[in-house]
Amino acid sequence: MSTTTTRGVAQPAPAQASKPRPRRGLRASSTFNFWLFTGPFLIGLIIFVFVPIGWSVWLSFFEARFTVTPSEFVGFENYRQVLTDEDFLNSLVTFTVFAAFIVPATWAMSLGLALLVNRLRFMRAFFRSVFFLPTAVSYVAASLIWKMSLFNGVRFGLANTVIGWFGVDNIAWLASPDPPWYWLVIVTVRLWLQSGFFMILFLAALQNIPRELYEAASIDGAKPGWQTFRHITLPQLRATSTAVILLLLIAAYQAFDEFYNLLTKATWGQPPLVELYKMALGENQNYGAGSAGAVVLTVLICVVTLLQGKIMGFGRGEESK
């Protein structure tokens, strides 16, 4: 009878019970962190942006004078009233002229300042702060300074004093649309206020351009200056330039403070937001027509933004160029 023994045979080690993995806390969840940081922003966006937009669209189909809870449905009557209103149509022309001046001027000045500051070898932070500082100034305060000190129309004003040195008579800068000197006042005040902000964007983009590109261009015989700027710097700034132009166009649509404070009593040179402000909060307080005008303006902004994105490739990846 044979016997079976286990002596001398290695016995497999008993499997150790694996330690339970610690459960990930709620704070470690990426989903929780996502909603923790974006939730307050989304709530604010819904309450302060989307709800007013929806309410404005709703009001635009009602006869809403002196009330925001109207009951008389009028269909597209408010849109017909706005689109045939001469003042509102003139305000769109004013915006077009304003955008034609301010968008290229701000783009060129911001890029020029960024190029100058980027080439500095000392006191770069100082000049960057000096040029950015006007961004923190209120549009209302800057408009009053421009109106009361620089372009006040009397011979003691700074602008009239300077042109007086060359024998030029005093100019009433803001008193008349013919000749339209008021454009010089409005464009310069906004140029001073917003160029520093966009200079920072261009400066960040300039510092991200690889130095190897300039070295390779130098080896290939490219001359520093205009040649490298045109073939290297400017193409590398394409995405930033597209974003800057888009922001400038939207800001031009939203122009209000400088026009309202510089042309307080004028019946000309009013941008769309000032006209809508008078329409909705003026003597008649026609919230329905004002809301219809706001919807029309929103659609225009969306159309212009989409066209610009189509033409300039906003958001297009580098690989698709």
Q: How far apart are CA 33 and CA 52, in angstroms?
A: 28
- The CATH number covering residue 91 comes to 1.10.3720.10
Q: How far apart are CA 296 and CA 313, in angstroms?
A: 25
User: Would 294 be classed as within a structural domain?
Assistant: yes
292: helix, coil or strand? helix
User: Would 83 be classed as within a structural domain?
Assistant: yes
User: Would 158 be classed as within a structural domain?
Assistant: no
Say what angle helices 124-132 and 182-207 make with each other, to 10 degrees: 140
Give the lowest-confidence range in 13-17, 263-267, 275-279.
13-17
User: Would 297 be classed as within a structural domain?
Assistant: yes
Check residues 135 and 221 and name the one with the higher pLDDT. Answer: 135
Q: The whole model's pTM is what?
A: 0.77
Check residues 210 and 12 and name the one with the higher pLDDT. Answer: 210
Q: Which residues, in sequence order, are CB contacts of 202 under 8 Å at separation 6+? A: 110, 111, 113, 114, 115, 237, 240, 244
User: Would 71 be classed as within a structural domain?
Assistant: no
286: helix, coil or strand? strand
| pLDDT tens string 105-130 | 999 999 999 999 998 888 888 888 89
37: helix, coil or strand? helix
User: Would 17 be classed as within a structural domain?
Assistant: no
What average pLDDT score do residues 189-202 get?
A: 93
User: Would 28 be classed as within a structural domain?
Assistant: no
293, 279 Cβ separation under 8 angstroms: yes
Residue 223 has a pLDDT of 80
Please state the domain count of the chain: 1
Check residues 53 and 18 and name the one with the higher pLDDT. Answer: 53
| pLDDT tens string 153-180 | 788 788 989 998 998 888 888 888 888 8
Residue 77 has a pLDDT of 92
User: Would 63 be classed as within a structural domain?
Assistant: no
Instruction: For residue 283, give its domain range.
Output: 76-140+172-312
